[in-house]
Structure 1
Amino acid sequence: MMPDPDRILFFDGVCNLCTGTVEWIIRHDVRGVFRFASLQGEHGQAFLRGQTLPTSAHATFIYLRNGKVLDRSTAALQVARDLGFPWNTAYLLILVPRFLRDAMYALIARNRYRWFGRRDKCMVPTEEVRERFVG
C-alpha cells in the first residue's frame, strides 16, 4: 500500500544524476516537506502500476504533489518552486512551452547514464535521512 504524504519524488535509483539531484534537494529542503522513492523499488513500482506509465519508466522524474502527478520538466520546476527562495525563481521557466522544456529534459534523460554514470544498486539513504524515504 502506498503511503499518502503530500509530496513524493519518484526517481531513478541507479542514475548518478538522479540520486545526486535527490541529495541536493534533501540539503535544500529546509522545511523537510519532500519524501522520496526509487522507481525501481517496491513503492515506485506500485505507483507506476497505478499510472499510465510502464513499470520500466525510469527515465522520468515524477512528482506526486497533493494527489496530482507531475512529470519531466514540469515536475522539476514545481520542485524548485516548492523549495522556496532562491530556487523558486527557476519556476519562471514554466513560461517556456512545455514541448521545448520536455525536449531538453528528454535529451538529458536519454544521455544521463553516459554523461553522469550509473550505480549497480539503488541508492541507500543514510541514517539521518532514511525517514524521508518511502519504502
Structure 2
Amino acid sequence: MTNLQLPAIDPQDRIILFDAVCKLCNHWSRFILRFDRRERFKLCSVQSPQGQALLAHYDFPLDQYDTLLLIHNGTCLTRSDAIIAIMAAMPFPWSILALMRWLPKRLRDGGYHFIARNRYRLFGRYDHCALPPEGYQKRFLE
C-alpha cells in the first residue's frame, strides 16, 4: 500500500481514527455521534483507504491498531491525550472527564494500554467493519 492518497481535509477538522472491527471502538464512535451535537468531530475507520493514508502520513503501522488517534491542526494525538482532547470538546457533563489531564501521563496511558491490549477479549470484535449508523454518513471522512 505505497500508493495511498491523503484525503483532502481542512486543518481545522478534528478527525478521530478508530478500529472499525473493535466493538468498544464502535461504541465509542456512536458515543461521539450521539453527544457531539455541534458536529466538531469527523470519524474515520483505520481500515478505510482514507484511514490507511492518514496512518501512513503520521508514521503509524497500517496493520496494527493499538491506539485511538485524533488529528487536528496538523498534529496527531494518541492514547489518553487523544481521549482528553476529545472529552474537552464535548458538551457538559462529558467535558468534565477532561480533568483526567491532571493525572500522571504514565498512569493514564497505562490504563489506556491495558484496555487497548485486551479490548477484543473484553468487548469483542466484528467479522468485518461496521457501517456508519443510518443518517450519520456525512460525519465520516470520505
Give the Cα–Cα distance (whole angstroms) in 1 for the partners of residues 81 and 25 of structure 2.
16
Q: 2:7 aligns with which of 2, 6, 12?
A: 2
**Number of residues paired by the alignment?**
135
1:78 maps onto 2:85 in alignment? yes
Task: Name the counterpart of 2:65.
Answer: 58
1:115 maps onto 2:100 in alignment? no
Task: Name the counterpart of 2:28.
Answer: 21
Give the Cα–Cα distance (whole angstroms) in 2 for the partners of residues 29 and 78 of structure 1.
13
Is 1:40–1:58's contact at 8 Å kept on the other side of the alignment?
no
Give TM-score scaled by structure 2 length: 0.90
Give the Cα–Cα distance (whole angstroms) in 2 for the partners of residues 98 and 39 of structure 1.
25
Q: How big is the shift at 1:124?
A: 0.4
CA RMSD of aligned residues (A): 1.1
Give 2:79's aligned amino acid.
R
Q: How big is the shift at 1:26?
A: 0.5
Task: Name the counterpart of 1:132.
Answer: 139
Q: How big is the shift at 1:126?
A: 2.7
Extract unaligned runs of 5+ from structure 2: 1-5
Is 2:7–2:50's contact at 8 Å kept on the other side of the alignment?
yes
Q: Give identity over the alignment, percent.
A: 39
Extract unaligned runs of 5+ from structure 1: none
Provide, for residues 6-57 of structure 1, a one-character-per-residue CA deviation record: whole Å limited to 9, x for no partner: 1100000100000000001100001011100011110111011111221123
Task: Name the counterpart of 1:34.
Answer: 41
Range with bigger deviation, 48-57 or 100-109: 48-57
Q: Which ranges of 4 or more aligned residues in structure 1 deviate by more than 3 Å?
A: none
Task: Name the counterpart of 2:109.
Answer: 102
Give 2:8's aligned amino acid.
P
